[in-house]
Structure 1
Amino acid sequence: MMKRTLLLFPFVLIIFAASAQALSWAYPFVVWDGNVYEVTDENVPESLIGENIGEVETSPDDMTGKYYGNASNEYQIGTNYFEIKDLPTDEGIAVEIADNEWRKAVFAHEAPSHWMDLVPYVLLTLLLLAAAIAIAFYLKKRK
């Protein structure tokens, strides 16, 4: 019995001592309006900054890499996105990395869909359904 325990101990130690590794990202990115933009090292002058179009709202999971909504793997929640004058937003946007300092983010690809992206639509549907039921009860009671 003791021999079996001694043989099993190193195996159990290796299994439980294995550390989890966080995901390493290939490049800094932001997600806006269902699109992923790679943040470049190119600064955008203040004269080219247009309207505020959004902000980072979520962070990706460092273990799985999954994200939803307006997310970023580099910038904190609350980091603002801006239009760049004379550049369509489907080509690039500006990310405010500090006060009065913006970096250009270029379109990379569409963001993968996530079930959390559907939550607003499900909630709106439930709200409309509840309103329809309430109106139906009100009209039925009125008769």
Structure 2
Amino acid sequence: MSSIASLYLLRGPDIQAFATSGRAPDHLRLQDTVFWSGYFWMYLLLFLDEQGVPVSQSRHDTTLTDVEATYFLLTTEHQPYLPQLDPATFDQAAFDEYLSGMGWDDFDEAPIAAEETLTVLRDQVAALTEDHALLIDIA
């Protein structure tokens, strides 16, 4: 079974549409940004959450309470965590241990995948403005 991560750049009305339908508008999908599986994205984001980067929370949580999907919504409130999204300071050994606990013992490309995924994540979060949000939808 595989999983896909899709990234979207949303504004307020788009967040409302996602809250209602559980789907982001296709035309807001960021192209050529995701190179690794949705499972990898999910494990990396959950690891970051455990490391004190609250990617599973945003100011839109109350709006999105009824959405039955696996997603992360990042906003400008996540920009103070940009240093923790820097691949140069990322604790790859701790992440490898985390992945091992998830049954990914033999994912030899984990360091490359982490660097590329963190770079995309960091660049996208850094570019957010107050009226935008980055949706990472994992299906």
Structures share fold, TM-score greater than 0.5 = no
**TM-score (normalizing by structure 2):** 0.24
Compare CA radii of gyration and give the structure with the larger one.
1
Greater RCO, CA 8 A, separation 6+ = 2
Name the structure with the higher helix share.
2
**TM-score (normalizing by structure 1):** 0.23
Name the structure with the higher strand share.
1
